[in-house]
Structure 1
Amino acid sequence: MAKTKIEDVDLYAILDLTISATETEIKKAYRKKALQCHPDKNPDDPKAAEAFHELSRALEILTDAAARSAYDKVLRAKEAAKLRHKELDSKRQKLKEDLERREREAMSGSGINLTDEQKLAAEIQRLQKEGSRLLQEEQKRIKEEIQRSLSRLSEPVWDSSLNRIKIKWKADKTDNSNGGYDEAILRKFLKKYGDIVALIVSPKKKGSALVEFDNKEASEMAIEFEKGLPENPLTLKWLNEKPVLTTKREAPGPSLVSDRDYESLVMTKMRQAAERQRLIEEMKKEES
């Protein structure tokens, strides 16, 4: 496939920018796009390398003052030509294009003056010879960010369902107050350590409950420090004897459904109800 001429490509459109964009906006747009189309991020996409190359070429040209000036001049000339062409019928337009082509050929042969396209080609050739330090730095930065993102997938993470805490206190079978504790009172004692994912007071056995915190630090502090009511202290222990860490399976992605979406809210409540019921069933099995 023949290589596309630079004057036939809208470099600003590749970056979703306009010709008035600042250099800072150009770099920011490049980084955002590069993270999406980098070949390392899209190993199964045969077009990823070509898209990343086009993106890199846009950055290389638009962050070099001389090259961008030459490119912008060609771009503006093409836009102006489009407006003029709309006012010409097909016959007059063809005559005009033939005349302009002959003029370019004449200038090129004489070597007296260079057209805007020729000046742009010269700047592109200069960039290719000199190399682009900025482009290399940006590509290195993008690659390092992708590698950091991939490495985070193997980092240990906290799964509250694997790290439940069993809570015990004294309570007679006939004690309707359950030793002075219910879910609201337990939450009041435990919430100071961190966010509570789930808390279930045993519906069958007095003086027993399970709790899950959303992080390891909160769980450890609750086990070490929480005593509850002075007249009826709490005892907190790991259900599985010690904390368990797991690893991420996939990188988190943006949610496709808004939190305000009705369906999302319904599904969330259904999942919470199912998790609560599962905890109750597990507690009943353990107590039996």
Structure 2
Amino acid sequence: MAKKNIEDVDLYAILDLAITATESEIKKAYRKKALQCHPDKNPDDPKAAETFHELSRALEILTDASARAAYDKVLKAKAAAKLRHQELDSKRQKLKEDLERREREAETGRNTCNLTDEQKLAAEIERLQKEGSRLLQEEQQRMKEEIKKTMGLMSEPVWDSSLNRIKIKWKADKSDPNNGGYDEATLRRCLKKYGDIIALIISPKKKGSALVEFSTKEASEMALELEKGLPDNPLELKWLNERPVLTTKKTISDGPSVISDRDYESLVLTKMRQAAERQRLIEEMMKEDQNT
């Protein structure tokens, strides 16, 4: 595809900005769009490199004061000319354009130092190309680092508490109504000092058996290492899956979700998910009992 002349491209439209945008707004718009269309993130899109190049050229020109001033002058002149042309019929418009062209050619012939606005813009673009754009290089490097960081986080091993539950055992006779001295409240008192407990289920069939799920890896490991339970009836804690399990992060969240107290539907759905998770934990506990 032939390269477009810079005066024929609306750099502000490429960045979805108005001509009055500040330098800070220009940089922010560039970063947002560059992250979306960067060739490293769109290897299957043949137009990604071209789109990224257009964004880079827009940033390069619009963040340089002299180049932007020259570009804005041409852009405003073209907008004014377009408005004037709309008010003329086709015949008058052609006559006017021919006259203006001849006047420019005559003026250029008399004094080559008196450049047109388009020529001044071309000179500024040439200057930028020769000098290079430090800002553009910095922004492109920033994009690469951010993309690299994002891709790294997506493959980073993470803790999934539902895959790392802990089985708890203690001595208790089948006919013992006190279950060896342990009920849910007693177990929670023993375990909550290590961290938040997502779920704690005492086996409904087998005495002296329970499952606990902590929210963090650190809490789980401390409980396994340190918790002894009641002195006269110690607890035995083991990983349900014999060893800790790490998984891979599939998506990167933009931040914690906030559920309004007034959002009744969201609250109901949350309660339903919690109830379903508790039921799954009970079923897992009962399955474990049958296997022992």
Match of 1:152 in 2: 153
1:264: how far off? 6.6
Change (3 A) 1:170 1:125: same
Q: CA deviation at 1:231?
A: 6.7
Structure 1 position 233, deviation (Å) = 5.1
Query: What's 2:9 paired with?
Result: 9
Alignment of 1:284 with 2:286, yes or no, is yes
Q: Indicate conservation of the 8 Å contact 1:12/1:18, yes or no.
A: yes
- In the TM superposition, residue 37 of structure 1 has moved relative to its aligned partner by 0.8
Taking a change above 3 Å as real, the CA distance of residues 177 and 15 of structure 1, as seen in their structure-2 partners, is farther
Partners of 2:145 and 2:267 in 1: CA distance: 37
Matches within 5 A, 1:231-270: 234-248=235-249, 250-252=250-252
| Cα deviation digits, residues 19-45 of structure 1 (max 9, x gap) | 222222222222222111110011011
Aligned match of 2:53 = 53
- 1:216 deviation in Å? 0.9
Q: Residue by residue, what CA displacement relative to the aligned partner does 1:63-89 show, whole Å, maximum 9, x if unpaired?
A: 111111111111222233344344444
Q: Does structure 1 residue 75 correspond to structure 2 residue 75?
A: yes
Per the alignment, do residues 84 and 159 of structure 1 end up closer, same or farther by CA in structure 2, a change over 3 Å counting?
Answer: same
Q: 1:286 to 1:2 in 2, by over 3 A?
A: same
The residue identity in structure 2 corresponding to 1:12 is: Y
Unaligned residue ranges in structure 1 (runs of 5+): none
Instruction: Work out whether 1:36 is the aligned partner of 2:39.
Output: no
Shift in Å, 1:272: 4.0
**Secondary structure of the residue that 1:39 maps to in structure 2?**
coil
* Contact 2:153 2:252 (C-alpha < 8 Å) held by counterparts: no
Is the Cα–Cα contact under 8 Å of residues 258 and 264 in structure 1 kept in the other structure? Answer: no
The 1:55–1:183 alpha-carbon spacing in structure 2 relative to 1, beyond 3 Å, is farther
TM-score normalised by length of structure 1: 0.84
Cα drift, residue 158 of structure 1 = 1.0
Aligned-residue offset at 1:230: 6.2
Aligned partners of 1:131 and 1:211: how far apart in 2? 61
Q: 2:277 is matched by which residue type in structure 1?
A: E
State, as a whole percentage, how many aligned pairs show the same letter.
Answer: 81
**Cα distance in 2, alignment partners of residues 188 and 94 from structure 1:** 90
Corresponding residue number in structure 2 for 1:106: 106
Q: Does 1:275 align with 2:270?
A: no
Unmatched 5+ residue regions in structure 2? none
User: Residue 137 of structure 1: CA displacement?
Assistant: 1.9
Matching residue of 1:26: 26
| Counterpart contact for 1:193–1:219, Cα < 8 Å | yes
1:190, 1:225 → 2: CA distance? 10
Provide the C-alpha distance between the structure 1 equivalents of 2:199 and 2:90, rounded to a whole number of angstroms.
74
CA distance in 1, matches of 2:98, 2:259: 60
The verdict on how the C-alpha distance between 1:90 and 1:207 changes in structure 2, with shifts beyond 3 A counting, is farther
Paired positions, count: 286
Question: 1:165 touches 1:237 (CA, 8 Å); kept in 2?
Answer: yes
CA shift, 1:178, in A, is 4.2
User: 1:268–1:49: structure 2 CA closer, same or farther, 3 Å change rule?
Assistant: farther
Say which is worse superposed, 30-39 or 8-17, in terms of deviation. Answer: 8-17
Distance change (3 Å), C-alpha of 1:263 and 1:120? farther
Distance 1:129-1:267 versus aligned 2 partners, 3 A rule: same
Residue aligned with 1:44, SS = coil
Native 8 Å contact 2:167 2:240 kept in 1: yes
